Amino acid sequence: RVVVVGSFNVDHVWTTATLPRPGETLGGRYATGPGGKGFNQATASARAGAATTFVCALGDDPGGELARRLADADGIDLRAQRSDEPTGTAGIYVDGEGRNSIVIGAGANGVLSPAHVAAQRDAFDAAGVVLAQLESPPAAITAALQAARAGEATTLLNPAPANAPTTRELLALADILTPNETEFAGLVTRHVGERIDGDAVTALDQSRLHALCRELLPAGTVVVTLGASGCFVSHAGDALRGDERPFYRLGAEQVRAVDTTGAGDAFNGALVAALAGGSGVAFAAHLRFASRFAALSTEREGAAASMPRRDEVLERFGA
Q: Which residues are catalytic?
A: 265
Q: How near is the Cβ of 287 to ligand ADP at its closest, in Å?
A: 8
Q: Which amino acid is it at 293?
A: F
Tell me 279's DSSP state: T
Judge contact between 22 and 100, C-beta under 8 A: no
**Considering the rule CB under 6 A, would residue 225 count as an interface residue with ligand ADP?**
yes
71 assigned to a ligand binding site: no
Binding ligand ADP (rule: CB under 6 A), the pick from 239, 240, 255, 284 is: 255
> Smaller CB distance to ligand ADP: residue 58 or 231?
231
175-176-179-181 Cα dihedral, nearest 10 degrees: 120
Q: How near is the Cβ of 251 to ligand ADP at its closest, in Å?
A: 9
261 assigned to a ligand binding site: yes
Interface stretch with ligand ADP, choices 43-51, 84-92, 240-248, 259-267 (CB under 6 A): 259-267
Q: How near is the Cβ of 225 to ligand ADP at its closest, in Å?
A: 3
Q: How far apart are CA 289 and CA 5, in angstroms?
A: 22
> Smaller CB distance to ligand ADP: residue 52 or 261?
261
Q: How near is the Cβ of 300 to ligand ADP at its closest, in Å?
A: 13
CA atoms within 13 A on the CB side of 94: 17
The footprint of ligand ADP on residues 263-282 (CB under 6 A) is: 263-264, 267
Q: How far apart are CA 297 and CA 98, in angstroms?
A: 16
Selection from 98, 94, 136, 85 nearest residue 114 by Cα: 136
The footprint of ligand ADP on residues 172-211 (CB under 6 A) is: 180
**Considering the rule CB under 6 A, would residue 226 count as an interface residue with ligand ADP?**
yes
Q: How far apart are CA 261 and CA 241, in angstroms?
A: 29
